[in-house]
Structure 1
Amino acid sequence: MLLFCSQYADAAAHFDTQSRVFRLDGGDSTYAFGINAQDEIQTLYWGKRLPDNQQFPAAQASSGVASFDMPVNTTPQEYTGWGGALYVEPDLKITFPDGNRDLVLKYVSHNIEGDQIHVLMKDISRDVYVTLQYRMDEQTGILRRSADIENRTHQPFTIEQVASGTWNLPRGTDYRLHYVTGRWAAEGSLQEQPIHGGKTVLESRRGTTGAENNPWFMIDRTSSNDQDQGSVWFGALGWSGSWKISVEQNVLKDIRVTGGPNSFDFAYFLKSGEHFQTPYFYGGYSDQGLGGASRLLHRFEVDSLLPHAPSPRLRPVLYNSWEATTFNVNEASQMMLAEKAASLGVERFVMDDGWFGERKNDHAGLGDWYVNPQKFPHGLKPLIDKVHSLHMDFGLWVEPEMVNPDSDLYRKHPDWVLNFPGRPRTEGRNQLVLNLARPDVHDYVLQWLDKLLRDNDISFLKWDYNRNWAEPGWPSVPIEQQKNVYVDFTRNFYDILAQLRQKHPNVEIESCSGGGGRVDLGVMALTDEVWTSDNTDAYDRLFIQDGFTYAYTPAVMMAWVTDSPTWVNHRSLSLEYRFLSSMQGSLGIGADLNKWTPEDFATAKRMIADYKSIRETVQRGSLYRLMSPREGEQSVTESVSRDRKQAVAFAFLHSSSENYPFPRVYLRGLDENATYSLHLLTGKVAKNTPAAATGAYWMHHGFDVDLRGDFQAMAVTLERQ
């Protein structure tokens, strides 16, 4: 007998009292788990949505493999404590004051409300309670999982390892793992590898998310070779601290994916009566390939995750003054740049580093957040008023978590940084990391940011973070609590963002970490956009943006047009090429406008106007990767508006060779029976290309573009008639 969790027949969560099976439905996916005879919580199904009347058999634990791998290792449990004969990755490991480290969790009860299921588990003898939390997104079928650990014993204990949950896939030998790696200026490198016996660990040990690995994965089958076909399971961890995702094939070839805060150097001292809430671990399923999986993530992020969801503001076209002036900002130079930016149609003017304290270079000033009186003798108001008179809003660069040793703040509070007493304090970019876990540091950062926003009409903060941790000590608290720094730092970071948003609801915030070093679903829930990379070479960005968009929506992917050649590769690219590369995301300008010619201004003005006509489609539409820059000389992306009235395609050629033409472009996602007219934003198509044709024609017959030479680009739009 299937009991619905509420009075509504279409409720997303159900529980069958006879089989003791839970079921969640959303979008085109179903997730089911049950309580087996041993009172373990066991995964039953994760995949394509099944009919509502489809019942699941009761959960039945595995029989194990001889005495070496008992059933606890081969039963696909949702959440396991480290105890008994467990050898696979545990979700929770605890050390108790008496030295006991055995933890065996069993089902106690559950509660269902609407689209949420809470399952309460308890250790077999101690008052350690774990509440498993599930919430299914109705539109995309993306499931949000987390766990709450409660200490109801009469003494504190130490959590040595904790995860948000484990995703289980049925046994198979043809699974393939996709993930993203990188470094500064080379973020978003998409990797893939077969899943074999053993374990693959994706992680950051840096105190924050880190560019070298991103907390996201996709798993498909090797038989799935079309971008938009085949079964894909995917997940992303909403945590901006050190993190770990373990992808494990057990002895029966079942796949387990466990994720949460990184267990390296980790401990959390949990007092009696306290709770530990894990980060959210999101997971979803698509039968439309890697492309379909990423489109589901994009839709979920825009409609359910970002601030102001389901209708976040479209990203305005911005200008940032960094490359024009670096640290040498002043009132006159910024006003002059603002006038030039406004003439292009820019909507937001952002002043970058150098406006505060004794900030003349990167050696001093961080931590002293007062307006430099020599550069801005009348404060920021005259500049802000000028920007507003030009019909742009005003933004400002900040780096709240950092301090230069050459600063008034550090001289006054040297104990405020992460440090181990008597050990070196490693500097990166001539700066140290403030210990945001400290309540006094949290309060200081929140107070000066709040004052900055109260005293000035600022619409946007570019929140930067230009180094990772070293010496992660917190010597001002008892020894047993010092490793709490890994969690409390990130929690306080989130709290500051949340309080600023509450106090200043019209201020937008960008997450930046020397490029894309802090991009994850945790920070995205509290910020409006992210800085993708400091590498703005337009050709390199084709690769960086390709990898980025597997996990994250173009609606938050900032992409700047900067001067050519760039510092990165000393490669010269046309202004049109640079614009088209950036127009695939959220467009910004970072070039030195003082060096532009009248022809450059005319080109930029035209391209910005074109971008505004397609902005909603690019930022909120469905992204199709028609040709990947990783697979040849060409790259083509297509974005289709939600109502399928507009599509825009960007085509890029690295180099022609041997007189071969550009491959034919076959669009996707259109209404087959509707007629679409084709319009050139820039470039050429073959002479025999019809001015209008059905969606079926554009998708199945395709069309040819005329791209020859080196580093060429073009773009077309299709409008439904």
Structure 2
Amino acid sequence: MKMQSKYYIRKKFLNLTLVLFAMLAITAFANSEESEEPLKINHGNLVFEVNANLHTRLTSTLPGTKPIMLDYQPSEKIIIDNMMITDFALKDVKEKALKGELSGREWMVKGVFTKNGLKLEKYLKLIAYDDFPGLITREVQYVNASNEDVFIEKWINENYKILPQGDEPPFWAFQGSSSSSRSDWIKPLEPGYYQKNYMGMNDTDYGGGIPVTSVWRPDINIAVGHLSLTPELINLPTEMFRDSKVLVGISKEFGERTVFKTKDTISTLETFVSITKGDYYDNLARYSKLMQAKGIEIVEPEAAAFEPIWCAWGYGREFTMEEVVNTLPKVKDLGIDWAVLDDGFQVAEGDWRPASNRFPEGEDAIKKLVEKIHGYGLKAKIWWTPLAADPGSQALEQHPNMKIIQENGAPQFITWWNAYYLSPTKEETIEHTKNIVDLFLNEWDFDGLKMDGQHMNAVAPDYSLQNPLEAPQGLPDFFHMIYAEARQIKPNAVIENCPCGTCMSYYNMASMNQAVSSDPLSSWQIRHKGKTYKALVPKTAYYGDHVELSDNGNDFASSFGIGAVLGTKFTVPSSRENEESSKFLLTEEKEKIWRKWFSLYNEKMLSKEEYLGSLYDIGYDKPEAHVIKKNGSLYYAFYADSWNGKIELRGLAENTKYVLINYFDNIELGRIQSSNPFVDVSFKKFLLIEAQPSGDF
């Protein structure tokens, strides 16, 4: 049964503050016949032109910007009967004002294509929203004005080939898709590069993501994406050619021999192009603000989500209750506030009763463990993979129809868990899930949920439903249902969404109050994932995951400097042989390091403060830098294998003097004025600097 309301989409738009109409300077023509003059829209720093063939040219008025493209390009394409159609003769342009919460200007451009009996009408709707200068949206309608049916294969929007300018590397790119390789979300591009960036399932367990591609040179950033309020099964391909030009776009592929009937209309999604300066941060932040203005509602932050975390995963799935309980005193002693019971407590995925070999007293043992955790003044979180159920599990025995069914009639399998996908919009799945939330938070008294698994990020179409796409498009509602149920039981519950290694679906971000770097493969991933989350959901707690997953297993600095919550899965000596847990043993030497970082974290609490993501380009600026603002002071984090030379402290207030402190080593580095924000430093791996305003020079 379909869930009736889009929980994560607001019923009313936000009240947006209108900007002066002077920000939107427009030249246009209307009701023209075969006009050769272009439609020209100046919106913020973006100049957007459409010519008589309905091709597009982008330029920018940003200072120092070099050409983006040499000439007009066919930014919309459609493939009909194996023919790619790009040229439509301009027939008409109409312009009108948009009023209301999302005010702006709208243009409807009509074009026609005729060839060998095929006639298509194209209606290109362009919108420039007042509150989003530098961003233009488009939606295209194609009408089959022929007298016969045809076959449609694909439509393409926002298709731009962008010029390099001799930089090295020529471009960096943020790509929001997920894959089983768990690759970096941002990377430098090189000739021969191609990535499809499909937003559906890319492997049995992996799919979904952020429907935005952002490519940049040192002088300009160009982002494209779509603005649907539900996940869509589309591509955002990125390609670099031998001449280092980069091609981006958005495409929808249709099934084999899809009929486009005579007189019917096909509509694309509302897509956008956005231009900023710097790396991907500003364009992602702009995208998220526009999505929220259109109706996506991000939940409010939770104070407890910023508190540091210890997880029992260091002991692995074969942990004992004794090991967990014996670690709690050290957890408390180090200033950590959360203890997480991880995978292994359960009989099976989908059968969430306590495993008898670890908890012979059954549920009473779990309750006693939670009491022990609370007895140390700690909060308790429990691991859970809500969309997986093992064959033969209690869940599937009681509700066999919960499974997602593929087009071939077989259940959708999750290879990592050897389990089946549950269909998120079926009433049986919803009721089963509500019961588990009640079990964990009400009956067992946990304070939060660690929802885990790369398969949670997206689901495949469910062909047991009347509309198979109801499953992937309804997944965000499923997570909001969990969030709402949990917060009703415990108003301060922390809801962590950990889609292991995937680029988390933007739509799922709306219903969690703790993001996580989610099994990072490097410290670099911890940092750039943090920058991504802080652009999209800036007030939400971002957890850097277990420090043991960072470079050398001890890089607290990467989490600390990006403004992430610190976490660890250290172990203490155990009465049993456990090769896995011995790797994470908290030795006397390690304890000194752990104690210092957790003490510094609790003292500064930078994870709650404002992250200034626009100040440094994470790709081109060296050394890599991040900045957090707190109470007038700026906290800089610099990263490099080794650095000896000048660094620039950006973002200082005008006409202000500062004292600089290496606050990790408690060393004063000198004093500077904002008019000359440079200082010579030498460091390896990281340098943390606090710039304190000082009127006394």
TM-score (norm 1): 0.66
The equivalent of 1:668 in structure 2 is 650
CA change 1:333–1:528 in 2 (3 A) is same
- Other-structure match for 1:705: 682
Structure number with the higher strand fraction is 2
Q: What displacement does 1:135 show?
A: 7.1
CA shift digits 1:56-109 (9 cap, x unpaired):
xxxxxx9xxxxxxxxxxx96566555459962689xxxxxxxxxxx9x999788
2:237 is aligned with what amino acid? S
Map 1:592-603 onto structure 2 (within 5 A). 592-594=570-572, 595-597=585-587, 600-601=590-591, 603=593
Report Cα offsets for 1:141-173 as digits up to 9, x if no partner.
Answer: 55676779999xxxx99986466x426577788
Aligned equivalents of 1:147 and 1:452: distance in 2?
48
Counterpart AA for 1:206: M
How far off is 1:641 after superposition? Answer: 1.9
* Corresponding residue of 2:84: 87
Secondary structure of 1:682's counterpart equals: coil
Displacement, 1:400?
A: 1.7
Match of 1:553 among 534, 544, 563: 534
Q: Residue 388 of structure 2 aligns to which amino acid in structure 1?
A: M
Question: What are the superposed Cα offsets for residues 503-557 of structure 1, whole Å, 9 maximum, x if unpaired?
Answer: 5555443332222x14243333343343324246xxx31x323553664438565
The corresponding residue for 1:622 is 612
Match of residue 586 from structure 1: 564
Amino acid of the residue matched to residue 188 of structure 1?
D
SS in 1 for 2:680: coil
Distance 1:679 1:388 in 2: 38
The DSSP-based 3-state class of the residue aligned with 2:430 is: helix
C-alpha displacement at 1:112, in angstroms? Answer: 1.6
Distance 1:561 1:470, change over 3 A: closer
The answer to whether structure 1 residue 455 and structure 2 residue 442 are counterparts is yes
CA contact (8 A) 2:161 2:247 kept: yes
| Cα separation, partners in 2 of 1:19 and 1:48, compared to 1, 3 Å | farther
Determine the structure 2 residue equivalent to 1:719: 692
Residue 49 (structure 1) shift:
7.0
The answer to whether the Cα contact below 8 Å between 1:180 and 1:189 also exists between their aligned partners in 2 is: yes
**In 1, Cα distance between equivalents of 2:311 and 2:251:** 38
User: C-alpha offsets along residues 202-228 of structure 1, whole Å, 9 cap, x if unaligned?
Assistant: 43663589589975433345xx3xxxx
SS in 2 for 1:673: coil
Cα distance in 2 for partners of 1:267, 1:439 equals 31
Matched residue of 1:187: which SS? coil
Q: 1:189-588, aligned counterparts within 5 Å?
A: 190-193=186-189, 201-203=196-198, 206-207=201-202, 210=206, 216-221=212-217, 224=218, 230-236=219-225, 243-247=234-238, 257-259=248-250, 263=253, 281=271, 283-287=273-277, 289-290=278-279, 293-295=280-282, 297-298=284-285, 301=288, 312-313=301-302, 315-328=305-318, 333-356=323-346, 358=347, 365-370=348-353, 374=359, 377-378=363-364, 382-384=368-370, 387-388=373-374, 390-411=376-397, 413=400, 416-419=403-406, 428-434=415-421, 436=423, 439-440=426-427, 442-444=429-431, 446-448=433-435, 451-452=438-439, 455=442, 459-467=447-455, 474=462, 476=464, 485=468, 487-504=469-486, 506=491, 507-515=493-501, 517-535=502-520, 540-541=522-523, 543-548=524-529, 551-553=532-534, 557-563=542-548, 572=552, 575=554, 577-581=555-559, 583-588=561-566
Higher relative contact order (CA 8 A, sep 6+): 2
- Kept in 2: contact 1:234–1:285 (CA 8 A): yes
Query: Whole-Å Cα distance in 2 between the matches of residues 24 and 390 of structure 1?
Result: 61
- Equivalent position SS for 1:604: helix
Please give the alpha-carbon distance, in whole angstroms, between the structure 2 residues aligned to 1:391 and 1:302.
38
CA–CA separation in structure 2 for the residues paired with 1:386 and 1:270: 64
CA apart distance, 1:472: 6.0
Separation of aligned partners in 1, 2:530 and 2:662: 25
Query: In 1, Cα distance between the equivalents of 2:93 and 2:434?
Result: 45
SS in 2 for 1:704: strand
CA distance in 1, matches of 2:459, 2:506: 27
TM-fit CA distance, 1:680:
2.4
- What amino acid sits opposite 2:656 in the alignment? A
CA distance in 1 between partners of 2:269 and 2:345 (Å): 36
Q: Relative to structure 1, is the Cα distance of residues 716 and 6 closer, same or farther in structure 2, using a 3 angstrom cutoff?
A: closer
3-state DSSP of counterpart to 1:203: coil
Q: Deviations over 1:641-661 (max 9, x none)?
A: 28863222244536xxxxxx7
Letter aligned with residue 98 of structure 2: I
Tell me, yes or no, if the aligned pair for 2:213 and 2:224 is still in contact at 8 Å: yes
User: Compared with structure 1, are the counterparts of its residues 48 and 123 closer, same or farther at alpha carbon in structure 2 (3 Å cutoff)?
Assistant: closer
Give CA-to-partner distance per residue, 1:570-601, whole Å, 9 cap, x none. x856x5x4445554342232222424246645
3-state SS in 2 of match to 1:641: strand
User: What is the alpha-carbon distance in structure 2 between the residues aligned to residue 427 and residue 414 of structure 1?
Assistant: 17
- Which residue of the partner structure matches residue 178 of structure 1? 172
8 Å Cα contact 1:512/1:531 also seen in 2:
yes
5+ residue gaps, structure 2: 1-15, 32-38, 64-69, 113-117, 573-584
2:577 maps to none
Assess, with a 3 A threshold, how the Cα gap between structure 1 residues 545 and 425 changes in structure 2: closer, same or farther: closer
Do the aligned partners of residues 605 and 133 (structure 1) sit closer, same or farther apart at CA in structure 2, a change above 3 Å counting? farther
For 1:528, the aligned partner's letter is N
**Does structure 2 conserve the Cα–Cα contact (< 8 Å) formed by 1:247 and 1:255?**
yes
Letter in 2 for 1:495: D
For residues 509 and 148 of structure 1, the distance between their equivalents in structure 2, rounded to whole angstroms, comes to 40
Shift in CA distance, 704/206, structure 1 to aligned 2, threshold 3 Å: same
- Code of the aligned partner of 1:138: D
Cα separation, 2, equivalents of 1:715 and 1:323: 30
SS of equivalent to 2:472: helix
- For structure 1, list consecutive stretches of 5 or more residues without a partner in the other structure: 51-61, 63-73, 91-101, 225-229, 359-364, 655-660
Amino acid at match of 1:587: V
Amino acid in the other structure paired with 1:462:
K
Matched position secondary structure for 2:449: strand
For the residues of structure 1 that align with 2:431 and 2:240, how far apart are their CA atoms? 47
Change (3 A) 1:170 1:473: closer
Q: Could you tell me how far 1:662 is from its partner in structure 2?
A: 3.0
For residues 139 and 409 of structure 1, the distance between their equivalents in structure 2, rounded to whole angstroms, comes to: 47
Which moved further from structure 2: 489-498 or 634-643? 634-643
- Could you tell me which amino acid in structure 1 is paired with residue 498 of structure 2? C
| Contact 2:458-2:505 at 8 Å conserved across structures | no
What is the SS of the residue equivalent to 2:681? coil
Q: CA deviation at 1:639?
A: 0.8
CA distance in 1, matches of 2:480, 2:138: 21
- Report the counterpart of residue 66 of structure 1 in structure 2: none
What TM-score results when the alignment is normalised by the length of structure 2? 0.68
Deviation at 1:493, TM superposition (A): 0.8
Amino acid across the alignment from 1:87: M
Corresponding residue of 1:68 = none
- State the Cα RMSD in Å: 5.7
Residue in 2 that maps onto 1:677: 659
Measure the CA separation in 1 of the matches of 2:529 and 2:603: 24
User: What's the CA shift string for 1:668-712, capped at 9, x where partnerless?
Assistant: 232353112222232487x9x42x222344x33x121354xxxx5
- Asked if the contact 1:135–1:145 (Cα under 8 Å) also holds between the matched residues in 2, the reply is no
Letter in 2 for 1:258: G
